[in-house]
Structure 1
Amino acid sequence: MENIVVSYNKVESEAYQTFTQLKQREGVIGSTTISNAILIKRNGVQLQTLDDYMTSNENALKGSLIGTLIGILGGPIGMLLGLGVGAIVGSISEMDEMETDSSLIGAMTSRLEDGDVAIIALVQETDEKFLDELLNEHETRIVRYDAALITEEVEHAQQLQKDMEKQTRQKLSAERSEERKAKVAAYKEKIKSQFEHLKKNKKHKDDSQSEA
C-alpha cells in the first residue's frame, strides 16, 4: 500500500540519526520502498526543512507530493489551522482522535509544537514493521495516511489557498476603490473651494475698484 508516514519527534538529534539511517538504506527497508522523505522542524510560525531524500527517478522535492504538502503547511492554510497561532493544546487521546478523524494537514498543524521535529515519507509497503523498526529506535509517534487521500487533500488545499488569495486581492482592490472614491470626492470639494475663493477675491477686487 502507498502511504504517507509521519514520525513525530521531540529530540532533533535523534530525528537526524533516524533520517540519516533512512537515507543510507537508499530507499529500501525490507519490503518497504521510500520514494521521498523530508525532515522538518517547527521554529515559531515557520517550518524549517532540515534534510530531504529523493530517489534518483524523482523530480525535485519542490514538485513532489511531500514538497507541495510542506508548502501548504507553511502557507496561509497552515497558518489558518493553527501553525501560526500556536498548536492546539489537548490530551494525547484528543490528538489521537484528531489524527484519526481529521486531515493530515489539520493533524500536523495541531500536533507540531514549537521545536518539534517530524519525518514525513512517501512509501510503498506491504508490511509496516520494517519502517517502524527503524523509526522506533528513538521515541516517536508514527501515523500513516493513504497517499491517494493525501494527494486529493493537498490538491483541494491548493485550490482553497488560491481562492483565499483571490478573495484577498479582490477585497484589497475594493478597499482601494472605495478609498479612491473618497479621495476623488475630497479633491472635488478642494477644487470647488479654490474656485469659490477665486470668485470671492475677484468680487472683492471689483468692489474695491468701484468704490475708488
Structure 2
Amino acid sequence: MGLETEAGRNTAVGGLVGSLVGILGGPLGILTGWGIGAVIGGGYDYKRAEETTGTVAIVTSNMPPGGTAILAEVREADPQPVDLLAMRYDAVLERRPSDSVRTELKAMERAADRLRKDEAKERRDRKRAEAERKIKDGAAQLKQKIAG
C-alpha cells in the first residue's frame, strides 16, 4: 500500500500526448503541449501519491515514534513460525483478516475524503461570503460618494 510503482507515469504520458498534439503548432506548439500535458498528468500523479501516503499514515497512526510497522498478507498453515519470528525481535504481532483491514482502510479513506471536501466547501463559502461583503461595502461607499 505504501509502494508507488507508477510514480511519474501520468506526467510522462501527459507530456508525450501534449507534445504530439502540439506538433500541429510547430516547435513552440510542441513545447507548449508538452508543458500543459505534463502539468495535467502531474496532477494525477500527485493525487495517487497523496492517496498512497494517506494509507500509510492510517496504518502507522498508532505506532510509537521510531517504531517500524510491517503490514503483510500472510497465508500460513501453522502460525508458529511467524510467532517465533515476532518473539525473536520483540515485535507486537496482530493477526486480522485481510478483508476487514481493507474494509477499514477504505472506510478511513472515504472519511478523510469527506473531511477534505467539507473543509474545501467551508473555505469556498468563507471566501464567497467575504467577496459578497466586500462588494456590498464597495457599493455602500460608492452610494455615499454619489450622495455626498
The TM-score range, normalised by the shorter chain, is 0.5 to 0.7
Q: 1:182: which partner in 2?
A: 133
State the alpha-carbon separation in 1 of the partners of residues 66 and 134 from structure 2: 48
Q: 1:173: which partner in 2?
A: 124
Q: Give the C-alpha shift of residue 114 in structure 1.
A: 1.6
Q: Give the C-alpha shift of residue 142 in structure 1.
A: 1.0
Whichever residue aligns with residue 97 of structure 2, its letter is D
Higher relative contact order (Cα pairs below 8 Å, separated by 6+ residues): 1
More strand by share: 1
Whichever residue aligns with residue 169 of structure 1, its letter is A
Q: Give the C-alpha shift of residue 178 in structure 1.
A: 0.9
* 1:102-151 residue CA offsets vs partner (Å, 9 max, x unmatched): xxx5xx523x1222222221211121112222333222211111101111
In structure 2, which of residues 77, 83, 98 is the aligned counterpart of residue 126 of structure 1? 77
Say whether 1:160 aligns with 2:111.
yes
In structure 2, which of residues 54, 59, 64 is the aligned counterpart of residue 113 of structure 1? 64
Q: Give the C-alpha shift of residue 71 in structure 1.
A: 2.5
Larger radius of gyration between Structure 1 and Structure 2: 1
State the alpha-carbon separation in 2 of the partners of residues 166 and 126 from structure 1: 44
Q: 1:196: which partner in 2?
A: 147
| Count of residues paired in the alignment | 105
Whichever residue aligns with residue 96 of structure 2, its letter is Y
Q: 2:96: which partner in 1?
A: 145
Unaligned runs of 5+ in 2: 8-50
TM-score when normalising by structure 2: 0.58
* 1:57-89 residue CA offsets vs partner (Å, 9 max, x unmatched): xx9499xxxxx7762352xxx4xxxxxxxxxxx
TM-score when normalising by structure 1: 0.42
Say whether 1:72 aligns with 2:55.
yes
State the alpha-carbon separation in 2 of the partners of residues 143 and 71 from structure 1: 21
Whichever residue aligns with residue 133 of structure 1, its letter is L
Q: Give the C-alpha shift of residue 183 in structure 1.
A: 0.6
Q: 1:191 to 1:176 in 2, by over 3 A?
A: same
Unaligned runs of 5+ in 1: 1-35, 39-51, 53-58, 63-67, 79-104, 198-212
- Please state whether the residue corresponding to 2:119 is helix, strand or coil: helix
- Please state whether the residue corresponding to 1:171 is helix, strand or coil: helix
- Please state whether the residue corresponding to 1:145 is helix, strand or coil: coil
Whichever residue aligns with residue 113 of structure 1, its letter is P
Q: 1:146 to 1:69 in 2, by over 3 A?
A: farther
- Please state whether the residue corresponding to 1:182 is helix, strand or coil: helix
